[in-house]
Amino acid sequence: MIGPAVLALLALIVAGIVHLASILAMPYLAPRDGMTRLAGLVSENRMSLLPDDEVRRLLPFADPSVAMAGCAYALDRGPVRVRLRTGSAPVGLVFLRKGAGVFHSLSDKAAVQGGLDVVLATPAQMAIIRDRDTDDDPVQEIRISSSDERGLVVVRALVPVPSMRAEVERLLSAASCDTESLD
């Protein structure tokens, strides 16, 4: 005989498991996460300026005081190098992977000689890159390891006053996101 107490306990345990499992699965299963929302505006291994009005339409709590650029990276053909010039206003980069959300971020404070030079690679590619390092040639680039081959880089630059938007957008338009061969 199964008593009501046992049934209640069963329901409680199942509720707990289902709740935890669905919270953990949400980042993988959410149909309209940030990456998916921007998917139509970005290209693979190419940096594009994201139109301001589209970003505001697609992203909740979009920041009206930034200009944005984005690049969907794919590491299947080799590491991806992201380069941009920094100006006087704050610039930040966020790196997203499906399921992980923002897994890394950088700001212009990490810039060397007025520019950011970032290499994204899988752990296996990263091992090859490190093997080729020599002591004579100090590493200038910032290296970020991505455990998935695919992800998204978003560049956000503050537009201090609206009249500077065109200038900030020019800076972002000059940013690049290119595959590099390891051969």
Partner 1 sequence: MLKVLATLAALAVGILAGLGLTALSIDRPPGFGAVTLGSWQVRPKIGTADADPYTRALMAANGEIPMGAAEGLALTTQTDSTGKALDGRCRYRLRGPFPGAGIWSVTLYWNNGTIASRNGQRASFTSFEIVRREGKAEEIVLAPGPQPGNWIPLTPGEAFSVVLRLHDLQIGGQAGVFDTASLPTLVREDCP
Q: Which residues pair with 142 in a beta bridge?
A: 118
CB of 10 to partner 1, least distance (A): 5
- Spell out the residues 6+ positions from residue 50 whose beta carbon is closer than 8 angstroms to its own: 38, 41, 42, 68, 69, 70
The alpha carbon of 20 is separated from its chain's Cα centroid by a whole number of angstroms, namely 26
Part in contact with partner 1 (CB under 8 A); list of ranges 19-27, 79-87, 120-128, 166-174: 19-27
Nearest to 98 by CA among 19, 174, 182, 27: 27
Q: Which is nearer to partner 1, 12 or 128 (CB)?
A: 12
Give the rounded distance of the alpha carbon of 8 from its chain centre: 44
Site for partner 1 in 93-112 (CB under 8 A): 93-96, 100-107, 109-110
Nearer to partner 1, 74 or 164 (CB): 164
Closest CA to 154 of 85, 105, 94: 94
Question: What is the per-residue binding string for partner 1 in 41-70, x denoting contact by CB under 8 A?
Answer: ---------------x-xxxxxxxx-----
Q: Which residues bind partner 1 (CB under 8 A)?
A: 1-2, 7-8, 10-19, 21-24, 26-27, 30, 32-38, 56, 58-65, 90, 92-96, 100-107, 109-110, 154, 156, 158-161
